[in-house]
Amino acid sequence: MGDHREFPAFAPGHCLPKTSSMSVTDSVTAVHDFRVTGYSLLDGMGVGRFVSSSVFTVGGLDWAVRFYPDGSTANCLGNASAFLYYCSRDKDVRARFTLNLMENDGRLSQVTNSYMKHTFSPASDNWGFIKFIEKSKIQGSPFLENDCLTIRCLLTVTKESRTQDVKTNSIVVPPSNLHQDFGNMLRDGEGADVTFTVCGQLFHAHRCVLAFRSPVFRAELFGPLRENATESIKIDDMEPMIFEALLHFIYTDTLPDNCNDGKAAAMQHMLVAADRYGVDRLRLLCERKLSEAIDVETVSTTLALAEQHHCSQLRGACIRFMASPDMLGPVMLTDGFKHLVASCPLILKEVLDEVSRIWRDKSS
């Protein structure tokens, strides 16, 4: 299996530095007319013998058209041949071309040869039409005027691809700092209009912020049973550190740094606070962190907590951990398991059912 790499997480609205480039492939197209005079004198000059145009330049490279009145090889008996010759021969080059006879009024024939594509190189310096035209069709045709033929070469030379930078908007928009502003508002206390006393420690906050982030705070602060605005609201069943972290999340949608140390006990208290005040995203965040930190010592207390606060995902993670091979025995020796048996006896049946399912799957 390949390595699994996680991409770093970025805050919502975070603008990453961006650069762009593009591959550019240009081409050059040109026309060269090769006039062959004295055609009747060339007829019978021999197979493989040719007359050549002057050298012309397209795309910085030299080319020539070669006309074989009696054909380029013995296999094209009765036909004239026409080829494009790559004179430069110093590098490979891709080209698209066609060769056609011009009528005496300067127009191309209605019956024209198709385009050819070829990569010319020192080892393959010519390409074209072995059976360019039947010799019998030249005499008396509109192609022949005053014993002269005109071959038109339409050539497109593809240049080497190059890469270039794309200029992007130079105006850099910084990431959103709304959460920082709200965090500063909580810390500075400017405009605060409600005070909480948590185990003797005072916390100042803003009613509107709390009400829009928590349905429980909304009921307490703006509902029929709202607290008196002039009095401090007392909370005696929560640690000040947990309440402070709850306020921090309500204002910034992030956990404070001291809650990211992986301690299960603090995260369990945070889950209780989130459930109590209806802060659903915080509750799910605590569920995830607790599920990632499950071990033999904490799984029982975490399962009891999940059962009490209806955390179905965390509950399932704990049951699967306890039912995994060689785990149930060590878990049963912990004090947390004794508390689980006393507080949630019915959940043990689900644990045993999961153990049975795992053993059935292994034996099948």
pLDDT given at position 3: 54
Domain boundary residue, one of 136, 158, 180? 158
- Residue of 285 and 353 predicted with greater confidence: 285
Identity (one letter) of the amino acid at 128? G
Residue 337 pLDDT:
87
- List, for residues 5-23, the tens digit of each pLDDT value: 555 555 555 556 677 888 8
pTM of the model: 0.53
* Phi, psi dihedrals of residue 183, rounded to the nearest 5°: -65, -40
Rounded Cα–Cα distance for residues 245 and 337 (Å): 29
Look up the CATH number of the domain holding residue 43: 2.60.210.10
End-to-end, the C-alpha distance of the chain in Å comes to 26
Q: Is residue 176 assigned to a domain?
A: no
For residues 323 and 89, give the distance between their C-alpha atoms in angstroms, rounded to a whole number: 75
Query: Could you tell me if residue 99 is inside a domain?
Result: yes
Instruction: Give the end of a domain, one of 158, 177, 193.
Output: 158
Segments forming the whole domain that contains residue 102? 25-158
Helix ranges, 78-214 (H): 178-188, 207-213
Q: How many domains does the chain have?
A: 2
Does 67 map to a domain? yes
Given the DSSP bridges, would you call strands 233-235 and 194-198 parallel, antiparallel or unpaired? parallel
Are residues 252 and 185 in contact, defined by beta-carbon separation less than 8 angstroms? no
What pLDDT is stored for residue 1 in this prediction? Answer: 47
The answer to whether residue 170 is domain-embedded is no
CA distance 56 to 61: 8
Q: What is the pLDDT of residues 48-73, one digit of tens each?
A: 999 999 999 999 999 999 999 999 99
- Give the model confidence (pLDDT) of 32-42 as tens digits: 999 999 999 99
Mean pLDDT of 161-186: 84
User: What is the structure's pLDDT at 356?
Assistant: 77
Q: Would you place residue 139 in the very low, low, confident or very high pLDDT band (cuts 50, 70, 90)?
A: confident
d(CA 323, CA 317) in angstroms, rounded, equals 10
| Long-range contacts from 334-338, C-beta under 8 angstroms, 24+ separation | 334/296, 334/297, 334/300, 336/297, 336/298, 336/299, 336/300, 336/301, 336/304, 337/300
User: pLDDT value at position 339?
Assistant: 86
Rounded CA-CA distance 364/362 in Å is 6
Domain boundary residue, one of 104, 135, 158: 158
What does R_g of the chain's alpha carbons equal in angstroms?
43
Q: Span 154-175, mean pLDDT?
A: 83
Residue 264, pLDDT score: 80
Residue-wise pLDDT tens digits, 89-133? 888 999 999 999 998 777 776 667 888 999 999 999 999 999 999
